[in-house]
Amino acid sequence: MIEATDQNFETEVLKSNIPVLVDFWAAWCGPCRMIEPVVEEFARDFEGRIKAVKLDVDANQSAAGRFAIRSIPSLLFFKEGRLANQIVGACTKSQLVSMAEEILAG
């Protein structure tokens, strides 16, 4: 998975030619670590169709603030530079897959 930062957010996420899942997380966040394998598996399954990136909210407060991230984990889907959907809190792979399929179909 790609590490998104305040510096590369525009390029990696907003200007991506495919939809992007951004995992807003922090090293100290237990639920973030809990869903990490789920997000990584999702990233492998959707490789080439949806880009998956991680953004550490502690190190990249500008991007986190821009999207009003108040709770982590927060998983935001972007399509064509715009926020398309989001999940706040831990989630299952099936929830991610369902949301991804909606975004790819629409």
Is 91 a catalytic site residue? Answer: no
Per annotation, catalytic residue among 4, 32, 43, 52: 32
Is 32 a catalytic site residue? Answer: yes
Q: What is the three-class DSSP state of 41?
A: helix
The pair of structure tokens assigned to 34 is 């809990």
Calpha distance 23→66 (Å, rounded)? 14
Per annotation, catalytic residue among 13, 29, 53, 84: 29
Write the single-letter amino acid at 70.
Answer: R
- φ/ψ of residue 75, rounded to 5: -115, 115
Write the single-letter amino acid at 91.
Answer: C
What is the C-alpha R_g of the chain?
12
| Catalytic residue IDs | 29, 32
